[in-house]
Amino acid sequence: MYRNFKKKHPGEVLKEKFWSIAAASTMEFYEAALEELRAYDQQAHAWVKRAAPPHHWCKAFFPLHVKSDMLVNNLSETFNSHILNARELPVIGMVEWIRQFIMERISNRVYWMRKCSGPVGPAIKALIEEREKFSRKWKPISNGKGGYQVRGPKGEQFAVYLRDRTCTCRLWQISGLPCCHAISAILKIGRNPNDYADQCYSRDLFFQIYENVLYPISGKSLWPQSDIPILDPPLACVQPGRPKKARRKGSSENRSGVHVGTNNVQKLKKHVIMHCRRCGQAGHNAATCKSVPENNGGEGCSQPAPAPKHARKSKGTNNGSSTTHGANSQEPDFAHVEVQGYSSSCVNSQPHGAEDCH
């Protein structure tokens, strides 16, 4: 949804305002974020109102029994990256590759979970520890019956009920994990915040789910024989071009060698300017250089620019003698001058002129 939003409304400010709407956990936060977007850009506000229903992308409309506050599709992207090699196989080979991958993955997850201690797994424990850092900025006040009034540094205030495992910010109810407001109240009474996570994150339920494993099977040589005739594979139709393996990236994602600017324009990371090693000017190289360097002596014939390395050798005949000029030839150029019925040569690289030749 944000990719479509960014095509017409790019910019970092609009990006922050859009994600603040999606991350709003209460109806009050949702309406306030929408009003802030309308005050900044009315066209962007109208686009969001015409978009998909908010219960698909806003936390304030998520059902509480799901216990998930995820807004992105990282789970599917992770699975697609793991089966990248299997996508090139035929259908049966691809399914068999995925089956072996899942069988090994289940075994590894159970192995590492048994090494962990505590009521939750390592990933959930790390997430609660990250929220615990933010809980230090909040001050809880108890009412004596399990209720706490938690006040933040900017004057924000929420009500936490540990017995009901609820908070008026609704993050605890949506995700199933205590928010930073609830963690501040839990630490006040000296309890472990991991004990207040929902049952769906417990280690006991994890082992119950992963009891259903995939069993190994024998190879094709041990399969039972069948009387059903073997079907011929379909005719292969090779598409032109190299087959694509990577997924299609959106306009807002970075690509190799290219990044997207603030105006949704792709720009090169490096801008290289070509310089000639002979004359030092920009815009061309030595092979296409048209400048003629001066002679060392300042007189005589001027030496033309050398031919490019890929030039072919040309042969010519003058009074029975032949000269060969090539791109890789190290011999100097000769100017043939006829004097008194015979031919003579003058080396251009010498400082004297043509009258000194004999």
Give the lowest-confidence range in 44-48, 105-109, 273-277, 326-330: 326-330
Integer Cα distance of 75 and 84 in angstroms = 15
Query: What pLDDT score does 256 carry?
Result: 52
Query: What pLDDT score does 76 carry?
Result: 81
Per DSSP, helices labelled H in the chain are: 2-8, 12-22, 27-40, 42-50, 74-82, 91-115, 122-134, 171-175, 180-188, 203-209
> Hey, is 196 helix, strand or coil?
helix
Query: What pLDDT score does 268 carry?
Result: 47
323 pLDDT above the threshold of 70: no
Q: Answer for the pair 225, 234: CB distance below 8 angstroms, yes or no.
A: no
Integer Cα distance of 142 and 151 in angstroms = 12
When pLDDT is averaged across residues 307-314 and rounded to a whole number, the result is: 50
Instruction: Give the pLDDT confidence of 150-159 residue by residue, as tens digits.
Output: 999 888 999 9
347 pLDDT above the threshold of 80: no
Integer Cα distance of 68 and 59 in angstroms = 9
18 pLDDT above the threshold of 80: yes
Query: What pLDDT score does 250 carry?
Result: 65
**Quick one: tokens of 27?**
């109806």
Instruction: Give the pLDDT confidence of 199-233 residue by residue, as tens digits.
Output: 999 999 999 999 999 999 998 889 888 888 888 88
150 against 317, higher pLDDT: 150
- For the chain, the C-alpha Rg in angstroms (whole number) is 38
Please report which confidence band the pLDDT of residue 286 belongs to, taking 50, 70 and 90 as the band edges. confident
Report the 10 Å Cβ neighbour count for 176.
21
Chain-centre distance for alpha carbon 209: 33
Q: Answer for the pair 354, 347: CB distance below 8 angstroms, yes or no.
A: no
171 pLDDT above the threshold of 60: yes
Q: Answer for the pair 162, 148: CB distance below 8 angstroms, yes or no.
A: yes
139 pLDDT above the threshold of 80: yes
Query: What pLDDT score does 270 carry?
Result: 56
**Quick one: tokens of 345?**
């040569």
When pLDDT is averaged across residues 190-194 and rounded to a whole number, the result is: 94
124 against 267, higher pLDDT: 124
When pLDDT is averaged across residues 185-200 and rounded to a whole number, the result is: 94
Give the lowest-confidence range in 5-9, 146-150, 315-319: 315-319
176 against 322, higher pLDDT: 176
315 pLDDT above the threshold of 70: no
Chain-centre distance for alpha carbon 290: 44
Query: What pLDDT score does 283 carry?
Result: 83
| % of the chain with per-residue pLDDT over 90 | 48
Closest CA to 135 of 83, 100, 187, 174: 187
Please report which confidence band the pLDDT of residue 3 belongs to, taking 50, 70 and 90 as the band edges. confident
The residue assigned the tokens 């603030």 is: 262
Query: What pLDDT score does 235 carry?
Result: 86
**128 pairs with which residues across the strands?**
none
AA identity, residue 128: I
45 pLDDT above the threshold of 90: yes
Please report which confidence band the pLDDT of residue 333 belongs to, taking 50, 70 and 90 as the band edges. very low
Instruction: Give the pLDDT confidence of 53-85 residue by residue, as tens digits.
Output: 999 999 999 999 999 989 988 888 888 888 888
Question: How confident is the prediction for the chain on average, in pLDDT?
Answer: 80
16 pLDDT above the threshold of 80: yes
Query: What pLDDT score does 285 carry?
Result: 87
